[in-house]
Every structure is written in C-alpha cells, then in structure tokens.
Structure 1
Amino acid sequence: MAGGRMKLELSRVVQGKSRLGVLKGLGRTGKHSLEVPGCLLYTHLGTVPHLTQDTLHTLSSLPSVTQVSLSHVAEHQEVLEEFKVGFRKFAGLHDTVLYCSLHDPAAPCPTGYTTNKTVSVWGSGGRIEVTAAKFMALQAAVQPDWYHSMADGETWQGNTSRKRVRKSVDRTLAHLDECLLAHQKSRELDGVEVFGVVEGGDILDERLRSARETAKRPVAGFCLDGFQTGAMDSALRAQLMAAVAKELPEDKPRLLQGVGRPDEVLACVEAGVDLFESFFPFQVTERGCALSFSFDFSPDPERAGSAPPAVLEQDHVEAVAEPNGELRVDDQTQMTRFEISLKDERYRDDFRPLVEGCGCYCCKNHQRAYLHHLLVTNELLASVLLMIHNTAHYHGFFGALREALAADQLDLLKRRVLSEDKK
C-alpha cells in the first residue's frame, strides 16, 4: 500500500525565512496534515508522560503526529517483531501519524560511542549498539509513518575538530544511503517516509555540504541536528540555520531536534525551521514548574473569549527573577524565565489558577496553593496536573505563533513572549 506523499504547502514566507503553511499527505493513507510552524506530540513509548490517553484527549488542538524514539523502543524489538502489526497498535494509539526518532530529545545522550558502522541508544537497560541492519529491522518492527535515518550527531558539544565534524557528515550520509537501500527492499516500510539528517557542527562549509548532499537523496524532509539548546551561541545557530535553509528545497519540511524553549523556538522559526519536538513541557513538569508566559498578541475585543491566557505582570517578574541561563541538555533541572516553580513557599497561600484565563483542566479546577501542596507532599497527581497545563500552554503558544505569522505580527508576539512590553 503506497502512502500519501508528504508535501509542504506554504501559504506565506515572512521576510524570506519564517514559513507558514500546512504539511499534507501524512500517514500511509495520506489523510493527515500538520500546520507549520508546529510541533510533534512528545511521548515515552507512545504515551505522553504522566497522562493516560483519556486525560490527554481532554486537551484540544493536539498535533496529529506522535513522536516515539528508538532509545525507548529498541529493547522491545523481539516483542514487536512477534507482534507483527507495528508499534501503533501495540501501544493502543489510534488516529495518529507515528514519527520515530533515534534519541529521546529530553534525555542526555552520552558521547564517545559512535563508530563507522554503529550508533548507540540508551534504554532503561543501558546502552544498545545499533548497526544499520539492526536500525532498519527496528523500523520494520515499529512500522512508523516516517522516521529519520541513522546519524552521527556527536559534534554538537563544541570544541570539535574540523576533521571530526567532516567524519560526522560523511558517516551520516553513508548511513542515509544504507538506510534508503534497505528501505526500498522492505515490505513493512512500503509507503513510509524517510527524513535525512543534516549535521556539520558549528562549521559552515560542512553544514552546507551536509545539506546539499542530503537534499540530493530521495528524502521527504530534513532533521537539523546539532543545534540543541546549549550547543552553540544563539547568533551562530541562527546564522548557520539560515544558510542551511537556503540549500534545502522549499516544499520539504525542516524538523529541528533538541530545541524547545519559547524564545529559541521563535528565533529558529525566523531562521526557516518548520517543526519542533515538544519535550519542553515535560522538562518543565519534571522540575515541579508550570509554564507561565504570555502569548496574547491580539488586542481585538471580539477575540476576548478565545484569547490566549494572560499572564499577570507580577508573574513575569517572578519568572524572570528565578535562576536563569542557558538550559543545557545535560542539565535539565535548571529553570527558565518562562515558568514558575510551584514548590516555592510563596505559593502556599496563593489561591489563583496557574495562569489566569487558561482553559485547561488544571487551571479551571485547581489553585497554585493546591499544586504547591501536592508537590511538597510528593503526590503523583502534581505531575499529572502540571503536565496537563504545560502541554496545553505550549501547544497554545504554537497556535499563537501561526496566527502571528498569518497576521504579520511576529514582532509583537516576540515582545509579548519575551516580556519586553506589558499590557
């Protein structure tokens, strides 16, 4: 059965870079679509952390694409092969498009284990070494709708030599060719799309070579790797991304790995990125925090009923005053200025919702004081309620981002998100 061919239809490109449109022809039937800029639904083994499927589907505007990673799936290879009908049914997922990435974007990935023939993933049982043959056998067992090819992504830590970066690009292209060859022969992967991975560290000519060579292959889209939070200076990242974007075809999507913070999302959209992994709400939840940043850029009174939640000015002061700095992938405990820590004693007698006007179940039914109580008593419900709110707030931000691009108001949205102006 042939799948619908994935195609990005752009409705507008703002200032030559920021792209607004719809990714169509998703899934093997081709009936699904995803608005861009957009994000995927982050999961552990097909389940959004802390949420059951029923709880998850109380949220509106969820993405049509669910992300699973081989780091979680690899240790279940034998079971999936015996099951025979793919991971979607195995995990009880229904009407969704399944995307399979190599690593879990929310988990640190140790370096020094990549060879010319293998990459490594880390599951609950430790390291699993993956050859191209094993990688493709895993994809055949998972039967995703799209996956990205094997890649040597160990050059993002900085201070990597030019020789090592060149080797990373060469290996990644060799992996891609091997994956594409095996893919064409696989019955289980008929109609499945492949994304090529663009590497190149912080070296411009290697980035461009990786992009150009990957674009020559029959891939449906591109994963931009090595730009993770904390990997490089933000100005350099934007410069490299913009240069890479010029080398990639307009009608194929660009998925950025390992970036989730709202300010970074905005900068990367301006550099031409289409898709993001939504692991950031999970990291915020694990810190016992709630996302609390404003993305209401529309003063239109007719939209007041459906406008994004308004964050109180004093919340912004609280959030900015919290410890801040670059959130490194290897240090996910560090707060950002887009969240408030409900463990803080100041919330003990605070009977307001997490965010005024937020329509999520948590904000409509509970107060900050209750979340504080749940956290200090180590109740599991704390993570459930925080994850509901953080997921809703984050996907609401992406909705506002698309609206801002459509209305040519991206600069206004940026000022709101970054708290540079106050209503």
Structure 2
Amino acid sequence: MNKKNNNFFKIFFNYFNIRTGKLKVIKNHEVTTPNFLICSSFGSVPHITPDHLKSSRITGIYMSLEDFVEYPAFKEKKDKKTISKPFLSSKETLRNFVSIPSNNYIILGARRSAFCFKKPNKSEALRIMTSGGNQLIDIKDIVNFYEKLAADIIISPVDISSNITGNKQLNKMVERTESWLKQLLEKETNSFIFASLPVVSKELLLSYFSLLESNLSKIHGLALYSPEQSEIIPDSLTHLPLFLVEPVKSPHLILDCIENSIDLFAIDFVSECSNVGIALTFQFPPFTPTGKNQEPLGIDMWDEKHKAVLLPLLEECKCYTCEFHHRAYVRHLLVTKELLGYVLLQL
C-alpha cells in the first residue's frame, strides 16, 4: 500500500529559493534539509563499517541496482532456450542484505550515474553498467526489484543519453520516462517514490508534469539530474522534496544545490579525497574574508611535512579523528598502507 504524503516532507523556511525543512523517511526519525547522502560502493559506505556509520553524521545512503544484479542473491537465472534476465531469488530486503543501521535511510536508483552511456536505451529496457560490462535490464524487472528490495525511497527509471540533441529523440526520452513511471506507480510498494525528471526543456515536459500532478498521492518527491532543473518545476510540484541524483563533485557545488532549492544531494568527493589521502579541512562560512589568506579545501596527508606534526588535522574540530589522533599518526598509517588511515580520513 502506498504511503501518504501528509507528514513526509515539511518546508519551514523558503527565502529566494533557499529553503530548509524536515523529511520523515523512517518512523520516529526526521532528517533536516538540505542534507547529503553518501554514495555507496556495492552496498557499503567506502572505508566505513556499520559501527562507524552509527556514530557518524551520515543520515542517508544512495545505492544503485547495477551494484547488486550480479550478486549471488540477485544472480541471473539462465535458460539455454531463453535470453538471460535478472531474477531476484532472495526473499530478504535490501536493508537485510547490506546491514545498514536502522537510523540510516536508503535511496535506491537503477544507476550510479545516468550520463555514463552513449548508446541509447530501448523502449522497455534500461542500460546499466555491471561488473560484466554494459547490459540491458527490462523495466518490468527493475520494478520487481524495487518491490522486493523495499528500499526507503526508490527513484523511477529515467531515459537519459549524453549524445541526444534532436527534438524527436528528446521527445522519445520523455515518453519512455513517462511510460516507465506509470509502470512503477501501478505496482503496490511500501517505498516512497521519487519521480525522475528528464534533462530536457520545460516545453517538452508539459505532459510529464501533468502526469505527476494527477498522481500526487503516489509521488513523494522529484529526482533531478542537474541543479538547474529546479527552475522549471511548476508551482503545483514545488512542495515536493528535490533530490539531486548525480553525485556532487565539490563543496562549491553543494552551495549551488542549496541555491537551487535542492533538499537532498548525493556526494562522493569525500570518498574520492579519502582514497588519495586528502583530509578535508574547509569550514563554512570561512573565518577570513574572500580573497584574503585563502586556505585550501584540504590537506595532502602524504606530504612529508606532516611526518612529525602532533597537531590534529583541524584544530578545535570535535570529530573522532581530530580529538584522538594527530597528523603524524594518520600519515604513518597511509605510508604503511594500513586501512585505518583511510577510515580516519573518511570520519
């Protein structure tokens, strides 16, 4: 049975498109917005164990189907006489499978990134990138996965291609996305549904917006693929929470998201920085005026100058790493290839 919109999202403040609110995804647990989600890697947060996750400030995790369709529990069922199709053999939900703490909500989409393919999708199939390469997955199979995995929030499939510019092709993208959303809405699910917004002009989305307006009782939010898409959303849909699916690549782009009324956004630059040994130390608002004594966004912990420095990564910071460890120790862990070094950077 579909959940109701009544208490799912509330906007408390809205000033020049910058807004704050609260999202109630999990029972007895509210998330203040704007807020971020961490992009998972095959169902886990990079460098973070479930125990670390419980004590972190991370509230939400973005996962993609293409990370799971080849796992043993979600393995393809093959028949010599028919084409192989993804088949969900496990009866467990996604939350049981990935062991995420109960106070962290999960948003599940079909892909990690919607812009990674030059080949077009098909009318009833979406391209995904698995460990076995580029594959097509039927929309009906995606819908079945969504139903059985029972993530807290699910993202409707979207038809996006990086090399389509003609109006005829763009119209086809909207038609496919509309058709796929209808298939998802017809399915009884206990997940909140966020409708994807194709990256096309407002004029081409009029029929799609009409579909959304006529199904407001089943749609709980909008999934965007560019911050600027928030500008074309009609007034009848502005009360819905906005989630930017494409991962944000820098702290500056987070400010862009907030300026464009984005309530939730996925980030992966934290994990990318940890992977190369960079400790993010920026603060907002900055202590110094713009243009004067500008500080870097992070510290390269591979630099030998930290070899004997007994200062925290950031003075007066209250995080676990800064309270209990110093730069020399973190650098030592990186040099000796200890996994704890990356954990401390991620925290």
Q: Return the TM-score normalized by structure 1.
A: 0.69
Question: Is the 1:87–1:144 Cα contact (8 Å) retained in structure 2?
Answer: yes
Q: State the alpha-carbon separation in 2 of the partners of residues 256 and 51 from structure 1.
A: 23
Aligned to 1:100: 108
Question: Is the 2:177–2:198 Cα contact (8 Å) retained in structure 1?
Answer: yes
Aligned to 1:89: 96
TM-superposition CA deviations, 1:39-69 (whole Å, max 9, x none):
224323432111111122232x331x33221
Structure richer in helix, relative to its length? 1
SS in structure 2 opposite 1:362?
helix
Q: State the alpha-carbon separation in 2 of the partners of residues 196 and 162 from structure 1.
A: 22
Q: 2:231 aligns with which of 232, 235, 242?
A: 242
Aligned to 2:343: 384
In the alignment, residue 118 of structure 2 is paired with which amino acid? T
In the alignment, residue 52 of structure 2 is paired with which amino acid? T
TM-superposition CA deviations, 1:329-357 (whole Å, max 9, x none):
xxxxxxxxx33322234433433222112
Aligned to 1:166: 171
Q: 2:36 aligns with which of 34, 39, 43?
A: 39
1:254 lines up with 2:242 in the alignment: yes
Q: Return the TM-score normalized by structure 2.
A: 0.83
In 2 relative to 1, CA 212–344 (structure 1 residues): closer, same or farther, beyond 3 Å?
A: farther
SS in structure 1 opposite 2:23?
strand
Q: 1:275 aligns with which of 260, 264, 280?
A: 264
Aligned to 2:58: 62
Aligned to 2:191: 192
Aligned to 2:14: 13
TM-superposition CA deviations, 1:373-399 (whole Å, max 9, x none):
3334433222111111xxxxxxxxxxx
Q: State the alpha-carbon separation in 1 of the partners of residues 115 and 173 from structure 2.
A: 19
In the alignment, residue 35 of structure 1 is paired with which amino acid? T
In 2 relative to 1, CA 209–356 (structure 1 residues): closer, same or farther, beyond 3 Å?
A: farther
| Deviation of the 1:3 alpha carbon | 4.2
SS in structure 1 opposite 2:128?
strand
In the alignment, residue 371 of structure 1 is paired with which amino acid? V
Unaligned runs of 5+ in 2: 77-86
Q: State the alpha-carbon separation in 1 of the partners of residues 172 and 210 from structure 2.
A: 16
| Deviation of the 1:276 alpha carbon | 0.8
* Paired-residue identity, %: 25
Q: State the alpha-carbon separation in 2 of the partners of residues 366 and 10 from structure 1.
A: 39
Q: 1:355 aligns with which of 314, 321, 328?
A: 314
Question: Is the 2:313–2:327 Cα contact (8 Å) retained in structure 1?
Answer: yes
Q: State the alpha-carbon separation in 2 of the partners of residues 42 and 350 from structure 1.
A: 32
Question: Is the 2:39–2:247 Cα contact (8 Å) retained in structure 1?
Answer: no
In the alignment, residue 134 of structure 1 is paired with which amino acid? D
SS in structure 2 opposite 1:57?
helix
In the alignment, residue 10 of structure 1 is paired with which amino acid? I
TM-superposition CA deviations, 1:48-91 (whole Å, max 9, x none):
111111122232x331x332211212223249944313111222
In the alignment, residue 301 of structure 2 is paired with which amino acid? L
Aligned ranges 1:174-253 → 2 under 5 Å: 174-181=179-186, 183-184=187-188, 189=189, 191-201=190-200, 203-206=201-204, 210-211=208-209, 213-217=211-215, 218-225=218-225, 227=226, 238=228, 240-244=229-233, 246-247=234-235, 249-253=237-241
Question: Is the 2:35–2:263 Cα contact (8 Å) retained in structure 1?
Answer: yes
Aligned ranges 1:256-335 → 2 under 5 Å: 256-260=244-248, 261-296=250-285, 317=294, 319=296
Unaligned runs of 5+ in 1: 228-236, 298-309, 320-337, 389-423
Structure richer in strand, relative to its length? 2
In 2 relative to 1, CA 147–128 (structure 1 residues): closer, same or farther, beyond 3 Å?
A: same
Aligned to 2:333: 374
Question: Is the 1:288–1:383 Cα contact (8 Å) retained in structure 2?
Answer: yes
| Deviation of the 1:194 alpha carbon | 1.3
1:109 lines up with 2:116 in the alignment: yes
SS in structure 2 opposite 1:172?
helix
SS in structure 2 opposite 1:258?
strand
| Deviation of the 1:197 alpha carbon | 0.4
Q: State the alpha-carbon separation in 2 of the partners of residues 241 and 9 from structure 1.
A: 18
Aligned to 1:49: 46
Aligned to 2:82: none
In the alignment, residue 362 of structure 1 is paired with which amino acid? T
Question: Is the 2:121–2:159 Cα contact (8 Å) retained in structure 1?
Answer: yes
In 2 relative to 1, CA 341–169 (structure 1 residues): closer, same or farther, beyond 3 Å?
A: farther
Aligned-CA RMSD value: 3.1
SS in structure 2 opposite 1:173?
helix
| Deviation of the 1:7 alpha carbon | 2.6
| Deviation of the 1:119 alpha carbon | 1.1
